[in-house]
Amino acid sequence: MAHDEQYRLRSGLTIVSEQSEQLEEMLAQLQQKIPANFILLVDVTGQVVTTKGDIGKHNLVMLGSLVAGDLAASQEIARLTGEYQDFQIVLREGQDSHIFIAEAGPYMAMLIQVNNDVPLGWARMVIRQSGEEIAQVLTMPAQEEPEWDLHAGEDDLSDLFEDALDDVWLE
């Protein structure tokens, strides 16, 4: 994503380049800290936002939709049973690896695949913390661009020029 680009997701969320860069860095740190084999970040509609690690032969479009659907179903089960809380995590234990599906705020979900020798409590703690941080990045307002007054009169232009020179020489 170029520095001034925006990426609009089907969920209605818009990710600006600064947020995208932060997400990439956060997922790289998550991958290294756990360690994770594969991380998939999707929005609540299942649209793939980014991945880290070995993609292998994963069908990312299908996987993204399933992650969003799985998390939505798990959240609804938790609501119906009175056990809902923010930043829910679903664990699928496998023979060779484990898969965590985690909420990352109201707009995002993550799939994290780890080897079976990674302590589950450790992974759960780090994943939950990362989910909270991702949600925080996505809810922060984008930095507003400064407004430029390009309609200054000629009299104003000489004053602006003098002020700019003073700023350069007085610093």
Whole-angstrom distance, CA of residue 102 vs CA of residue 84? 13
- How many other C-beta atoms are found inside a 10 Å radius of the C-beta of residue 65? 16
Number of domains in the chain: 1
Q: Which two tokens stand for residue 122?
A: 């450790």
Share of the chain above pLDDT 90, in %: 63
Q: Is the dihedral of CA 132, 135, 139, 145 positive or negative?
A: positive
Confidence of residue 4 (pLDDT cuts 50, 70, 90): low
CA distance 125 to 127: 6
User: In this structure, is residue 1 part of a structural domain?
Assistant: no
For residue 127, give the nearest of 137, 140, 114, 138 by alpha carbon: 114
CATH number of residue 129's parent domain: 3.30.450.30
Q: Is the peptide bond before 35 cis (omega within 30 degrees of 0)?
A: yes
- Domain with 53, as residue range(s), is 6-139
On whether residue 130 sits in a domain, the answer given is: yes
pTM of the model: 0.76
